[in-house]
């Protein structure tokens, strides 16, 4: 149980954290399928650069408060980064990984440089990079709920098409999937959602919640369908555990949730080993096909 009064103070933050902990692993599955696991971090840095730029030209007080202009600038850069990455993989541009790394490094450094001499500027950027989930507002609750609902509907309605687009764009194009439209729409959505999550909860929690639950769930899941419910389940459980620990130990709950999700990965490996030790069934699938 969380301490008395925590819900009254941080109810919105808890709900936002739980919603994002369910949403982000679903995006994480997509990014892993597209071999773009680090894209979440690049998008986050791009969003940070957009916000820093807006602050730099007067779109905010540099104190960590985000104006509409700053939010728009952050979201625009995040969406542009995600769309470019989605398109790069669809056209088999081998340089997309290098570009993601370039974006991460350039945006991460440039955002700090832009505000290095501004009052509270560097502090504002650091808040975005490191901040915890506690700053989330009622508006963030609504935003996170809407984004999660969109993803659930899209997976139910276009799950197979999304899968074909993610794994095998040439095949998807031949069977009539509008690959370019998917690149634009899905890229824009992923960029927006990750940019939103970063502004609500910070880069560490967003990146951790996007990637770590997928890494844990994929060890235990037997199919893609089971991965799509197991990964969000791991994410929500890690957030719950992390928030409880943070509340008890009086440490930042966002970072606690990331640590719990990180611990879930080797734990999942151990569980799998125990399970496969009990049942001498199918051999562990390998990345390379058997001869």
Residues making contact with another protein (CB under 8 A) = 29, 32-33, 157-158, 160-161, 163-164, 167-168, 170-176, 218, 221-227, 282-291
The set of residues, in sequence order, having a beta carbon less than 8 Å from that of 120 and lying 6+ positions away, is 61, 62, 63, 64
CB 283, min distance to another protein, A: 7
Return the number of the residue (176 or 277) whose C-beta is nearest another protein: 176
Check: CB of residue 256 under 8 Å from CB of residue 242. yes
CB 84, min distance to another protein, A: 21
Q: Angle at Cα 133 formed by Cα 195 and Cα 9, nearest 5°?
A: 135
Return the number of the residue (117 or 283) whose C-beta is nearest another protein: 283
Return the number of the residue (16 or 164) whose C-beta is nearest another protein: 164
CB 105, min distance to another protein, A: 24
Return the number of the residue (278 or 288) whose C-beta is nearest another protein: 288
The set of long-range contacts for 223-229, using a CB threshold of 8 Å and a minimum separation of 24, is 224/163, 227/29, 228/26, 228/29, 228/155
CB 35, min distance to another protein, A: 8
Spatial separation of the C-alpha atoms in residues 155 and 165, rounded to whole Å: 13
3-state secondary structure of 147: helix
Return the number of the residue (225 or 270) whose C-beta is nearest another protein: 225
CB 30, min distance to another protein, A: 11
Spatial separation of the C-alpha atoms in residues 30 and 207, rounded to whole Å: 14
């Amino acid at each position: 149980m969380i301490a008395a009064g925590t819900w009254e103070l941080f109810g919105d933050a808890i709900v936002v954290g739980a919603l994002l902990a369910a949403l982000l692993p679903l995006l994480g599955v997509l990014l892993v399928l597209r071999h773009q696991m680090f894209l979440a971090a690049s998008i986050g840095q791009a969003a940070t650069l957009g916000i820093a730029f807006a602050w730099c030209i007067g779109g905010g007080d540099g104190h960590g408060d985000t104006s509409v202009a700053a939010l728009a600038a952050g979201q625009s850069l995040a969406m542009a980064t995600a769309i470019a990455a989605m398109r790069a993989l669809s056209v088999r541009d081998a340089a997309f990984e290098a570009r993601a790394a370039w974006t991460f490094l350039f945006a991460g450094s440039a955002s700090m440089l832009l505000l290095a001499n501004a009052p509270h500027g560097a502090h504002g950027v650091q808040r975005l990079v490191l901040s915890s989930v506690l700053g989330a507002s009622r508006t963030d609750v609504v935003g996170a709920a809407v984004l999660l609902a969109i993803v659930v509907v899209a997976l139910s309605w276009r799950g197979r098409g999304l899968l074909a687009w993610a794994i095998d764009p040439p095949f998807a194009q031949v069977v009539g999937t509008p690959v370019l439209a998917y690149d634009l729409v899905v890229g824009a959505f992923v960029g927006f959602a990750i940019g939103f999550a970063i502004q609500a909860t910070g880069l560490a929690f967003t990146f951790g919640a996007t990637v770590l639950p997928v890494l844990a769930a994929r060890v235990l899941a037997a199919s893609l369908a089971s991965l799509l419910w197991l990964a969000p389940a791991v994410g929500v459980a890690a957030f719950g555990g992390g928030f409880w620990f943070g509340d008890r130990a009086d440490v930042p709950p966002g970072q606690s949730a990331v640590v719990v999700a990180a611990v879930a990965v080797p734990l999942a490996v151990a569980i799998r080993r125990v399970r496969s030790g009990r049942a001498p069934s199918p051999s562990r699938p390998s990345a390379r096909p058997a001869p």
